[in-house]
Structure formats: C-alpha cells, structure tokens
C-alpha cells in the first residue's frame, strides 16, 4: 500500500498510480516576457481576483491603475499562470490563478509562469490553488513579509516547494469534471443577475406608475396621492449611544442595531452587538418593533434601509439608524422599496445637511414627499417584488450550495 497522501480521497477508478510529489518548477516555468515593444497598452492591464481569476483591470475595477509607463510590465498570454504578491484577507500570501481570457499585461507585483504541458495542465494547477487552504499552505513557508506587509519572494523561488500531482491524463479528467460544477455556478449566477436586472427595471416602472396593477375586478386603482412621510407614520426618530458607550456592549442581551447591520432590503446579524436589558430600559424611545423601517442616516451607508421581520423579538438602535414606524393604513414594505429606488435614493441624498453633507435630520425625513397608492395597490406592489426577491434568494442559496459542493470536491480530489 502506497503513501496515503499520494492518493486522493475521491478518484476516477481507471487511475491507479500514486501521485508524484515534485517541486512546482516541474510543472511551471517562469516567464520573463516583458511589454518592451508596448504591444499592450493601459487598457489591457490585468488584475487577479480570487473569485474571477485574471480579469481586465478596467472592466473589473472601473479604471486602470497602471503607472506612467507599462513597458516593464509582464506579458500574460492565455493559459499562463499568474501569482499576485498582494495580501488578501483569505490569502495573506497572495493568490495563484490561470488566465483563461484575453492576453494582457501585469505590473511587477505579479509573477507570470508558463505551463510545462508535458507534465501539467493549467486547469489542474488553477483548481489546486483555487482552494484557499492549498494556496496558504504552499506559500506560507516561502514568503517573507516586509515592514509594509509587502511580499519578499523571488519569482523563481515561488516554484521551489512541492505539490502532489497525477499524470497529465488524470489532471485533464479532474479539470473536466470540475468544469461541470463551474458551468452550473455560472448558469446560476447569470440567472441571479437576470432576475436582479428584471427586478430593478420592474421596480422603476411600478414606482413611476408606468406599470400599474388592476383591482380584483379588473378596474383601475385610484390615482396616487402625494403625502409627507410624517403623515403616514406614528414614529420617526433615531437611537442614541448607550450610557457608557462601547464599554457596555456584550455578547448577549438585547440586540443593538448599528448601520452595518442595515443592508439593502434585509437586516444582517453579522458582527452583532448587544446591550444589557437594564441599559435598554433607559433607551425606550429607540426600541425596534417588527415591521419598523430602519434607515441609515449617516456615513457611507447612508440611504440603506430594510424592514424589521415579523418574527423579530426586540432590539435597539444607535444614533446612525432612524426608525420609521408606519401606521396601519400603509404598507411598510412599499415605503422601504420606494426608498431603495433610484428616485428614492436621490431624494434622500438631496436632504443631507452639514458641511460634509453626510447626514440626514429628522425634520427633513418627516417632510419627505412620496406618492402613495391606496393600501391594496401598495400590497400588490410589495408582494410582487417580494416574489422576485424570493426567487433571487433561492438562486443565491443554490449558488452557495454549489460553492460548498465544489469546495468539498476540491478538498477530496487533491492530495496535500
């Protein structure tokens, strides 16, 4: 029986030989091709994304971050392997990816490698390093970090350590199998993007009244009526910093909602903070109830909003979050959806006050004018858009399930 490490947990039955444990330079060689003749310009600079791989910098980031001259940039052909010497949260020693797109160039912060096709396939190498644990395990012993968290490693030395790899035939079989999962992921992401685009277009048409519902008898609903927000609310106010500030925060107790917990259309419980019940009793004016609208009123997340779910128990908010409590003659989901439209966002941003224009005051929020249909049409609009949201959420759940399945395959189909 061979070395257990040289045989993966999941394997195609026609392959029997153990995997070889050889330096990465057995499979890759350093490319020293530079853009000396300026074949590629600043519009063809590539970046490396952990999720997307090698991507055009302008398409991915909206602009080129190239220096004044790109003549010393490395040339990346289709099929080349690229290592970026930039730390990421999940990959503190950088990432390694295959360029499956157009040729381009990369700055000196990247190393470029050619695949030795007699010994390896680029897809196999890419899948191996697509698992964060593999990348970090491989690079950690090789990379030295500088004082500014920069990578101290020679391009050739990156290939110094060893990985397990099978024959080229088995590599191709593994890559072909994993591509099926990638295609499934791509299809789900495309479906989600189309649903989001449809939702955005439909929402704009509904709130501009270009698209109208009819009542159950097929008749037109009454005209919308413009009202100030305060006319349909029983409460509009924000919270405050608890007495004692952050020193009173705990790991359990009453949920204390801050601006980072208010995400577009939903309440996030990540990085939740809590306050003792005794502190909550002194802040009764900012206690949150189910169906309250929460609106961020300061900072970079200004304008984000959500509706507190019906199954919610109790919480409080800080001074950066406004509570908007709607009367029972209106639908809070309709109002929150309006606030999330482009028109609603523009109105909110136009209400900013102060020299930095980075906050909203209650009086301006109270006087915000919105066109309201009758409650029945509000319900129809909110329910219709909620149905699209459910489809988007189902799609996102399938994406997460497929990602988890792929990660499990990567863990079991490779030797480490």
Residue 39 structure tokens: 């074949």
| pLDDT tens, residue by residue, 26-83 | 999 999 999 999 999 999 999 998 888 899 999 888 888 888 889 999 999 999 999 9
The reported pLDDT for the residue numbered 354 is 63
The reported pLDDT for the residue numbered 152 is 80
The reported pLDDT for the residue numbered 3 is 43
Is pLDDT at 277 greater than 60 in this prediction?
yes
Residue 110 structure tokens: 């990247």
- CB contact at 8 A, 243 and 279: yes
What's the rounded mean pLDDT across residues 240-266? 86
- H or E segment and range at residue 285: none
Please state whether 218 falls in left (phi above 0), alpha (psi between -120 and 50) or beta. Answer: left
Is pLDDT at 151 greater than 70 in this prediction?
yes
The residue ranking higher by pLDDT, 112 or 415, is: 112
The reported pLDDT for the residue numbered 272 is 85
Residue 152 structure tokens: 């101290």
Q: Which CATH architecture describes the domain 168-218+373-416? A: Orthogonal Bundle (1.10)
The CATH class of 18-165 is alpha beta
| pLDDT tens, residue by residue, 164-199 | 999 999 999 999 999 999 999 999 999 999 999 999
Where are the domains positioned within the chain? 18-165, 168-218+373-416, 225-372
- H or E segment and range at residue 324: strand 321-326
Helices (H) and strands (E) in the chain, counts: 9, 24
CA distance 182 to 67: 34
The reported pLDDT for the residue numbered 68 is 82
Is pLDDT at 204 greater than 70 in this prediction?
yes
Q: What one-character-per-residue DSSP string does 364-402 give?
A: HHHT-EEEE--HHHHHHHHHHHHHHHHHHHHHHHHHHHH
Is pLDDT at 365 greater than 80 in this prediction?
yes
* Closest by Cα among 402, 411, 401 to 127: 411
| 168-218+373-416 and 225-372: identical CATH topology | no
Q: How far is CA 264 from CA 225, 259, 267, in A?
A: 26, 11, 8
Q: How far is CA 95 from CA 99, 134, 317, 349, 398, in A?
A: 13, 10, 39, 39, 26
DSSP state of 93: T
Query: Which fold would CATH assign to domain 225-372?
Result: Adenine-n6-DNA-methyltransferase TaqI; Chain A, domain 2 (3.90.220)
pLDDT classification of 121: cutoffs 50, 70, 90:
very high
pLDDT classification of 353: cutoffs 50, 70, 90:
confident
Residue 337 structure tokens: 């959806």
């Amino acid at each position: 029986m061979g070395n257990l490490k040289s045989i993966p947990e999941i394997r195609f039955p026609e392959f029997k030989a153990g995997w070889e444990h050889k330096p990465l330079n057995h499979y890759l060689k350093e490319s020293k091709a530079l853009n000396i003749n300026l074949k590629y310009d600043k519009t063809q600079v590539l970046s490396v994304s952990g999720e997307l791989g090698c991507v055009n910098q302008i398409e991915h980031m909206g602009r080129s971050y190239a220096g004044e001259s790109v003549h010393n940039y490395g040339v990346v052909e289709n099929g080349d392997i690229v290592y970026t010497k930039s730390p990421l949260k999940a990959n503190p020693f950088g990432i390694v990816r295959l360029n499956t797109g157009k040729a381009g160039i990369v700055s000196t912060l990247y190393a470029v490698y050619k695949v030795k096709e007699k010994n390896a396939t680029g897809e196999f190498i890419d899948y191996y390093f697509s698992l964060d644990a593999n990348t970090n395990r491989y690079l950690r012993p090789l990379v030295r970090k500088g004082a500014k968290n920069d990578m101290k490693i020679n391009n050739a030395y990156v290939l110094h350590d060893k990985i397990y790899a099978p024959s080229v035939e088995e590599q191709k079989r593994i890559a072909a199998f994993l591509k099926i999962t990638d295609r499934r992921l791509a299809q789900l992401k495309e479906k989600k993007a189309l649903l989001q685009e449809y939702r955005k277009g439909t929402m704009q048409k509904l709130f501009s009244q270009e698209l109208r519902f009819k009542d159950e008898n097929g008749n037109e609903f009454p005209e919308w009526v413009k009202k100030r927000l305060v006319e349909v609310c029983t409460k509009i106010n924000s919270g405050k910093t608890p007495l004692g500030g952050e020193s009173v925060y705990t790991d359990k107790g009453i949920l204390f909602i801050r601006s980072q917990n208010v995400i577009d259309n939903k309440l996030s419980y990540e990085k939740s903070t809590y306050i003792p019940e005794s502190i909550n009793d002194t802040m009764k004016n900012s206690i949150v109830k189910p169906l309250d609208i929460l609106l961020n009123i300061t900072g970079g997340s200004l304008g984000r909003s959500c509706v507190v779910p019906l199954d919610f128990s109790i919480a409080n908010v800080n001074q950066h979050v406004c509570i908007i409590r709607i009367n029972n003659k209106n639908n809070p989901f309709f109002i929150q959806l309006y606030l999330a439209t482009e028109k609603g966002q523009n109105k909110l941003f136009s209400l900013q006050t102060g020299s930095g224009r980075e906050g909203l005051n209650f009086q301006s929020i109270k006087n915000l004018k919105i066109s309201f249909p009758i409650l029945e049409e509000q319900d129809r609009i909110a329910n219709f858009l909620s149905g699209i949201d459910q489809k988007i959420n189902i799609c996102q759940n399938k994406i997460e399930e497929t990602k988890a399945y792929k990660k499990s395959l990567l863990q079991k189909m490779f030797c480490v």
